[in-house]
Amino acid sequence: MKQILYIIGVSGSGKTTIGRLLSQKTGLPFFDADDFHPTQNIDKMKAGIPLTDNDRKDWLAAIHQTALAQAATNGAIIACSALKENYRRQLSQGLQDVKWFFLNGSYEVIRNRMEQRPDHYMPPALLQSQFDTLEIPANALELNIAGSPDEICTAILNSIYQPSSFGIIGLGVMGKSLARNFASKGIRLSLFNRFVKGKEEHIAQQFITAHPELATAKGFEDLPAFVQSLTQPSCILIMVNAGTATDEVMNGLLPLLSTGSVIIDGGNAYFKDTERRIQLAKQNNINWIGAGISGGEEGALNGPSIMPGGETEAYSRVQPFLEMIAAKDENGRPCCNYTGSGGSGHFVKMIHNGIEYAGMQLIAEVYYILRKGLQKDPGEIAAIFAEWNSGTLSSYLLSITIDILQAKENDQWLLDTIDAKAESKGTGSLATQTAAELGSPAGMMTSALFARFLSAQTGLRQQAAAIHPAYSSPLSVSVEDIRQSYELARIINHHQGFEVIKAAAQEYNWEINLSALAATWTNGCIIRSALMNRLMEILQETDTMLFNEEIISLVNANQPGLRNTVAAALTGGLAVPALSEALNYILALTEADPPMNLIQAQRDYFGAHTYRLKSDPEGSPIHTDWKKFRSHN
């Protein structure tokens, strides 16, 4: 049963003002007892005749019924004079959690207020009868109306709520799931969601009502009240959209927080924005943690993978909270590891998403080859994937793909009804852009991103298909070749991702432990897999996974299958950009003498950019007048 808060006192004491303001701060619905009076009562008061107990009988009963109904759902704030003790007994009958707040003030002050509200049916002349009827409550918090409405509301909130140990701002899909995760671990929460009339109203309170595990949580739509409900210094998790929305929340929070409070940004923020926010927070004696959180709605609820970065002292404050809700690896350790200083947490989450993009694209291309090239239906492909998923190729992405491929509605494969236009969010683009800035080749995530971009150009593709009919021919490739190509391409994808992280760690002086990061990604996140479990161990021995003996053997064993598959797909008219990139990368990486010497000569020819000699790669730059070698024949 939910809490009922009665704001009581004589007419003119400010019950309605306080009730409405308290409703705004908490999200609880507000009811004004004045609205429950029957017409005859209102007419009597307008005429200056005081109400009797009999007049108030049905009025009190109606208010009581509303309180009972609200206690069974959301709880409520009710402004009611409730002048006598027997009235208050009637209003609380059958309610388990009732609190009374008595607004008290002098006759002179209250009469002056009543004279300032000429449209109210209660005339100032009846005020004395109210004071005469009033029985001072013994079980109510008495509040002097000389205080401002905000001060009175703060006093009420402080009396109602035991301080929460953790706060969450933003109740979208991820925020709600994380809140339930925290609550299930016994964490006392305060939850805030903005108020947007007609669109986002009472979100926090409705969410709390819908989930029994949130029984001790408190909901707010007023940011100061939310902060006041927390222990100080506070720990607050922000789960709002990256960019402007995060800055708006930050700007609202900083003036309200006590020194040493910690704000955790759990969104997909750009790591350079995180570093800017860390510095701004520090100027205000506040700590900022940029934490990548992966796992989607299910992971957030049952245990996500968490990648926190920032100052070590700040992280130590929130470490117990984050480790408590994180997924656990095969050894029972939390999939939550401190990544390093600055924006490193959001950086590795960005690269996680880049690896994710490429992983999804690889599965899509393998499906494409099996479906269009080998003419297998989704059910048959699901069976192939299920066999792969029972061994070393096991992964979360492959497992969900099996479920998708088995889905049928009205005897039709559900997959065939979906528009083939893949959407993308900012992290995929930022991962590719950042890899380029660092000079770290990341063709797998880049090809996956551009494949999505091309799929979104529906009109262009349809016109091109009409003008240039697709070439196709039967594919001569085995399922085993396709399996080998997938296994090797996954290895290249992960290698490229970790190489980008290594380059960033060197550039930004982050001491990122790659093995610990791989451990963080073994459960809870989207890219969890049997391969990641092995990388956790491999990266303890070497920071370049392709130099590990086990990986070397896999590359050598699977390269023929990748070559056959890419050749067959391209010859047969199927676009496989990610698989092709994997093959191109391993071929280029293992070529001791690539043709880039020609590019250096071309650059020197048209731009005098100079070049160095193979025999002296660290020597002085050389420029050649290439035109003098021009043939005149």
Domain CATH for 472: 1.10.1040.10
Q: Is residue 415 part of a domain?
A: yes
Same domain, 94 and 10: yes
- Based on the fold, state whether residues 58 and 150 are members of the same structural domain: yes
Contact present, 55 and 44 (Cβ < 8 Å) = yes
pLDDT value, residue 470: 75
> Quick one: 251 and 117 in the same domain?
no
Strand pairing report for 287-294 and 305-309: antiparallel
Same domain, 141 and 172: no
- 456 located within any domain: yes
Question: What DSSP character marks residue 36?
Answer: G
**Active site members:** 349, 356
Residue 16 forms part of a structural domain:
yes
Distances (CA, A) of 49 to 36, 44, 60, 295, 388: 18, 5, 19, 66, 85
Rg of the chain over CA atoms, in angstroms?
Answer: 33
Strand 305-309 relative to strand 98-104: parallel, antiparallel, unpaired? unpaired
Secondary structure class of 523 (helix, strand, coil): coil
162: Cβ–Cβ under 8 A, 6 or more apart, which residues?
188
How does pLDDT run across 237-251, given as a tens digit for each residue?
999 999 999 999 999
Q: Are residues 144 and 210 in the same domain?
A: no
* pLDDT, tens digit, 9 for 90 and up, residues 72-126: 888 899 999 999 999 999 999 998 889 999 999 888 888 888 877 766 677 778 7
Nearest-10 Cα torsion for 459, 461, 465, 471: -170
CA distances from 4 to 110, 349, 382 (A): 26, 43, 54
Query: Which of these three, 342, 376, 409, is where a domain ends?
Result: 342
Query: Do β-strands 140-144 and 98-104 pair in parallel, antiparallel, or remain unpaired?
Result: parallel
* Residues 199, 331 within the same domain: yes
Return averaged pLDDT per consecutive 10 residues of the chain, 633 residues in all: 87 90 88 91 85 89 94 90 91 90 90 77 80 88 90 86 91 96 94 89 89 89 92 95 95 95 96 97 96 94 97 93 96 95 97 97 97 95 98 97 96 94 90 97 97 93 86 86 98 98 97 96 97 97 96 97 97 96 96 94 95 93 93 68
The reply to whether 602 falls in a domain is yes
* Domain assignment of residue 435, yes or no: yes
DSSP H helical ranges for 326-395: 344-368, 378-389
Please indicate, yes or no, if residue 347 is contained in any of the structural domains: no
Same domain, yes or no: 404 and 332: no
- State which residues form the domain around 555: 352-589
pTM of the entire predicted model:
0.81
pLDDT of residue 632: 65
Query: Residue 74 is part of a domain; what is its CATH number?
Result: 3.40.50.300
The structural domain count of the chain equals 4
Residue that finishes a domain, picked among 342, 374, 391: 342
pLDDT of residue 468: 84
Question: What pLDDT does 226 receive?
Answer: 93
Q: Are residues 54 and 200 both part of a single domain?
A: no
Q: Do 385 and 446 fall within a single domain? A: yes
Q: Looking up tokens 């927080």, which residue turns up?
A: 257
Residue ending a domain, choose from 308, 342, 376: 342
Q: Is residue 88 part of a domain?
A: yes
Asked if residue 25 belongs to a domain, the reply is: yes
Helix (H) and strand (E) counts for the chain?
26, 14
> Residues 574, 578, 581, 582: is their CA dihedral positive or negative?
negative
| Cα–Cα distance for residue pair 405/394, rounded to 1 Å | 16
- 444 and 331 co-located in one domain: no
If asked whether residues 329 and 253 sit together in one domain, one would say yes
- Residue-level pLDDT at 317: 92
Examine the domain organization and report whether 175 and 286 are in the same domain. yes
Query: How far is Cα 314 from Cα 286, in angstroms, rounded to an integer?
Result: 9
